[in-house]
Structure formats: structure tokens, C-alpha cells
Amino acid sequence: MNTLDKSSNKIDYKGEGFKTKNLFNVIYVEEAAFKYPITKEVLDKYCNLQVITIRHYKDVFNRTNQHFQIQKQYQSLILAVKDKPFLYEGPQVCQNFGYPNFYYTSFLLNCIFDCGYCYLQGMYNSANIVAFVNVEDFKNSIEQESLKKPVFLAVSYDTDLIGFYNIIPYIDYFYGFFKMHPALTVEIRTKSGNQSFYKTHTALDNIVIAFTLSPQEIIEKYEKNTPPLKTRIKAIKTALDQGFKVRICLDPVFINPVADHLYEPFYEYVFSEINANKILDLSFGFFRMSKEFFKRIKKQSEYSDLFLDEYCLNENVISYPKEYQNNIMTRHYQILTNYMKKEKIFSL
């Protein structure tokens, strides 16, 4: 179970793949952020951490000479006030699950986990985490959009909100709001094993918890600081038991001679543990990244060996050649459709 020792700033994710003594190096706080309740809560919780006042989060976050990988080991938290826009159109490389009005929003920039394949390394100059404290402004903006039409809103892109739950429980702050807006379908994507939210909140019809799963070997190699597969499965079971809608995301799937052997036993294991009939749907996607992010990651001095593989460029997205994808996808679908109807499997 996740335990947070509030007085000592030590977080202990025993058995959940993440363990560190000093969670943050320092906390930067925007001058304008001090007046918000979240800021006060965070500063009370981490009262022994150095606080540095800043004018604007971009002064720290956008510096051009940050070493992403070293900073990742000494992450700082930046508390900031978000300015417009609060909603972004869903990106092309992400699945919209059939919803025409697909948006995403980011309460957090960056993540406590450290996946070698993560596009955030190419998207931001910094590995520090920005947490926006003006939740009411987010709500107003989301409300305006969702009153006009039904909206599919991804709230845990560019981060892992449930992984961050013990630091700032954003989903608690938004739970009532989501409850009041049934036309809003919210997806919370996570690799976390933290079960607190599912245990303390009643499931809502318009909240989907999307668990990203990978074979344990892939987790160990490329998903640093994330919980092991077993722990994620446990969290899925709890979420299902509590009545939450659960999506499984098999994303990113890798194609290489080693990875190819891992998926069949992995699927068998997952569906021997989880009743596939209870799963809302499944999303499937191969490793892919925008050309710009890929290039920026390769410019850094340290990056995962994944970026040394041969890929193809298609419409500005780097991924495996289409014919590989089709072959491998057919094989994966053959196995997956043993457990789940094809209509419930979404792929890009």
C-alpha cells in the first residue's frame, strides 16, 4: 500500500515499484500561486523542503540548458497558475475511442515515473514536474466546452495523475465536478498501483480508468519507477470490484525479436487474472513518436537504446514500418480476440 509520511516528506511505494526518500529536490512556487489552497497543502506536507519563489514557471521549466536525465533523478516540483488554454484538441497519435469531440487537459506537466520511451523527454526541456494549482479555472473551461456537446476528455496525458495521487489528489478535487457533468467522459490513464481513489470513491459512469500494461520484462527494461505488472493487476481488480469502468491500454507495443516472444504469455497471464468480460475496451498501439520529439531525444546525451532501432517516418510520426505493424498486429489480435470481441479493441 502507498504510505505517505506527511511530516517527513518520505513517500514509500512499497511493492509498487517506486521508492525514494526525498521525493523532490526543491519546490519552486510562482508568486501568483501562493494564494491557492493546493499550494498551501503541498507546502504544509513538504514543509522541510526548500521553497524558491519564482515569477513564472516557464523561467525555470523552459531553461534551455537542463540535463533531462540527471534532473529526472533530482526532480523538483513547480507550483504554478495555468493560463489559457486549459483544453487542447486530442492529438492524432492518440486513440479517441469513437468520440468526435476529443480533448485533453494537463493539470500536471511531467511525471514521477521514468519510462525510457516517454515522449515527454522530447517535449519538454525539463524533467521537473509542474503542478497547476488553479483547479477552478480548469473546471470553468471544461464546463464551457462540455455544455456545448458531449466531450471525451483525457486528463492524464503528459503525466500519471493516479501515480501523483499521494502528492496532489487532483482526481479528488475534480470528482464532484465530473459527477455533475455526465456528458463529459473522462479517461484517467495510469500505470500506478495506488488503489486509494477506487477504495474511497463511488464509481461514476463517466469515469474510465485506463491501465497501461506491459510484459514484466518490458516494465523492468523501459518503465523505470513504475509498479510491476502484478501490482497493476491488483489495482485493476480493486477498481473493477468497486464498479469502475476499466480500459486496458497495450501501448506502446514493441516489435523486436526479444519483445515478440513476450506478448503471448503476457496476454495469457493478464486474462487469467482479469475477467475480460468486465473490461470496457482495450486500446492497442505500437511504439510511435512525433519526428520532432524523437529527434530532440536523440540529441540528448543519454537516451534509451530503443531510439537506436530502425523506424519509418510516416506523416511526421516515427514508428515501425507499416508491413511489420500489420503482421504483428494480426498475430496479437489473434490472441486478444480469444478473450475479447474485436469491436472492443481499438487501435490506431
- Contacts to another protein by CB under 8 A: 25-26, 28, 50, 52-55, 59-60, 63-67, 69-71, 73-74, 299-302, 305, 308
Q: What is the dihedral of CA 166, 168, 169, 174, to 10 degrees?
A: -170
> Based on CB atoms, which residue is closest to another protein, 301 or 330?
301
Helix, strand or coil, per DSSP, at residue 186: strand
Beta carbon of residue 66, minimum distance to another protein (angstroms, whole number) = 5
The site partner of 84 among ligand SF4, another protein, none (C-beta below 5 to 8 Å per kind) is none
The site partner of 113 among ligand SF4, another protein, none (C-beta below 5 to 8 Å per kind) is ligand SF4
Cα–Cα–Cα angle for 12, 13, 17, rounded to 5 degrees: 135
Which DSSP letter does residue 6 get? T
**Position 191 contacts ligand SF4 (CB under 6 A):** yes
The site partner of 55 among ligand SF4, another protein, none (C-beta below 5 to 8 Å per kind) is another protein
> Based on CB atoms, which residue is closest to another protein, 28 or 97?
28
Which DSSP letter does residue 216 get? H
The site partner of 120 among ligand SF4, another protein, none (C-beta below 5 to 8 Å per kind) is ligand SF4
Beta-strand ranges (E) seen in 191-234 are: 207-212, 223-224
**Position 159 contacts ligand SF4 (CB under 6 A):** yes
Beta carbon of residue 297, minimum distance to another protein (angstroms, whole number) = 12
Interstrand relation of 3-5 and 10-13 (parallel, antiparallel or unpaired): antiparallel
- Phi then psi for residue 119, to 5 deg, are -70, -15
Q: What is the dihedral of CA 213, 293, 91, 270, to 10 degrees?
A: -10
Query: Which residues, 110 to 149, sit near ligand SF4 by CB under 6 A?
Result: 111, 113-115, 118, 120
- Taking CA atoms, 268 is separated from 2, 188, 247, 339, in Å, by 28, 25, 17, 9
Beta carbon of residue 262, minimum distance to ligand SF4 (angstroms, whole number) = 18
> Based on CB atoms, which residue is closest to ligand SF4, 29 or 213?
213
**Position 160 contacts ligand SF4 (CB under 6 A):** yes
The per-residue DSSP string of 293-334 comes to HHHHHHHSS---GGGGS--EEETTEEES-HHHHHHHHHHHHH
Interstrand relation of 184-190 and 207-212 (parallel, antiparallel or unpaired): parallel
- Taking CA atoms, 292 is separated from 95, 123, 299, 308, 318, in Å, by 20, 8, 11, 16, 9
Q: How far apart, in whole angstroms, are the C-alpha atoms of residue 53 and residue 50?
A: 10
Beta carbon of residue 320, minimum distance to ligand SF4 (angstroms, whole number) = 18
Assigned C-alpha cell, 143 = 464546463
> Based on CB atoms, which residue is closest to another protein, 98 or 257?
257
Q: How many residues bind ligand SF4 (CB under 6 A)?
A: 9
> Based on CB atoms, which residue is closest to another protein, 96 or 125?
125
Beta carbon of residue 13, minimum distance to another protein (angstroms, whole number) = 22
Beta carbon of residue 69, minimum distance to another protein (angstroms, whole number) = 6
The site partner of 63 among ligand SF4, another protein, none (C-beta below 5 to 8 Å per kind) is another protein
The site partner of 21 among another protein, ligand SF4, none (C-beta below 5 to 8 Å per kind) is none
Cβ neighbours of residue 146 closer than 8 Å, sequence gap 6 or more? 153, 181, 183, 184
> Based on CB atoms, which residue is closest to another protein, 24 or 178?
24
> Based on CB atoms, which residue is closest to another protein, 60 or 142?
60
Site residues (vs ligand SF4, CB under 6 A): 111, 113-115, 118, 120, 159-160, 191
